[in-house]
Amino acid sequence: MKNVRGGVTAPRGFVAAGVHCGVRKGKEKKDLALVLSERPCAAAAVYTTNRVIGQPCIVTKEHLADGVARAVIVNSGNANTCTGPQGLADARRMAELVAERLPVKAEDVVVASTGVIGVPLDMAAIESGMDELVAGLSKTGNIDAREAIMTTDTMKKELAVAFELEGKTITIGAMAKGSGMIHPNMATMLGFITTDCAIETGLLREALASCVNKTFNRVSVDGDTSTNDMVVVLANGMAENAGIAERGAGYRAFCEALDYVGTQLARLIARDGEGASKLVECTVSGAADEDEAVAFAKAVIGSSLVKTAMFGSDANWGRVLCALGYTPGTLDPDRIDLAFESPRGYIEVCKAGAPLSFSEEKAKKVLGDQEISILVDLGLGSAQATAWGCDLSYEYVRINGDYRT
């Protein structure tokens, strides 16, 4: 498996575009994106578990009920959530606008929106940008599309990989957005994955669900689950492999590549947390089972006190044990080992639940890096899991204090 360029347009048969249509008032930033496949695709998606769900998610669920899609349209700047019947009509209209300009059925269009909740969507702006959007579809359109889906993101998040299967080169491409309101439990994050692999729809759904549970579901920026979270995968089969129809070697190779893509995007989302200065990774080993390891790791990276300690480069390891202690699962405090690691060094701070003598100066240096690992060994079993988050800074409050106004 190797990294390749192109994001969502790297696989055969996919093009994309992004334009500024005016949903984001008074700004030139692109706010409308389109991804198109030459052929109908096997399609699968995972959605937010928030009971207040965005109107675009409702429409996309309807459209993907048959497991087929061919295009994705996304706007940023407005979530089209809590907008009532009109918002639902607007989400459906976005799909119709694509169908009116391309040989695509409206029910084969995935619809997604991200931005402010509770504000009517400016459909006049979206309609005004459609002709330019369609005209701009190209193999290099991933560059504009990846920008158009961003809200408070400070970095573009895309990736593509290629690997060999049955003598054919399979490519998986992806782009994502997410910076704040990030605590997926699917499942404001959106992820769009494209591939030219031929794979049976049921197995594609299974592969995506497994990938999301191991990657996007292990990210937390601020503990808030968005109303619009969605991860979608489209597979058009244009690599011309024989087709993955069973859980054999080909399926495992596909899942490995998909998991890699998901992991890298999850790390980027955590690294780009609103106001964040550091990526914080927690690996819990020695757990009784994997589900408990996941729960403990997510509790640590989701703790506001741990996050603020990481922001201050403070080796306040008691906060880590506190987070472990209030999390349901098998735990013996007297068996816990804890260390911090970064490119600047490694330092053990706790052994068998008791403090170790360590240099505060060295700890400050280790935790002063932009990427920090919290290493927990529960000493109870062989299961382990990793979750990703970020520090909590003054800047997070500033960004979210006036986000709407």
**DSSP for 288-313, written as a single string:** SSHHHHHHHHHHHHH-HHHHHHHHTT
Secondary element (H or E) of residue 345 = strand 345-351
pLDDT score, position 315 = 96
Annotated active-site residue 195? The verdict is: no
The reply to whether 279-401 shares the fold of 2-271 is no
Residue 72, classified by CB atoms within 10 Å of its CB into exposed (0-12), middle (13-18) or buried (19+), is buried
pLDDT at 65: 97
Domain chopping of the chain, boundaries: 2-271, 279-401
Give me the pLDDT at residue 205, please.
97
Residue 187: what pLDDT?
Answer: 38
Q: Which of 151, 188, 327, 386 is catalytic?
A: 188
Q: For residue 151, give the 3-state DSSP assignment.
A: coil
Q: How many Å separate Cα 116 from the centre of its chain?
A: 19
pLDDT of residue 48: 81
Question: What is the structure's pLDDT at 182?
Answer: 45
Q: What per-residue confidence (pLDDT) applies to 154?
A: 76
The CATH code that applies to domain 279-401 is 3.10.20.340
How is domain 2-271 classified at the CATH fold level?
L-amino peptidase D-ALA esterase/amidase (3.60.70)
Residues of the chain with confidence (pLDDT) below 70: 179-188, 221-226, 273-275, 396, 399-400, 403-405
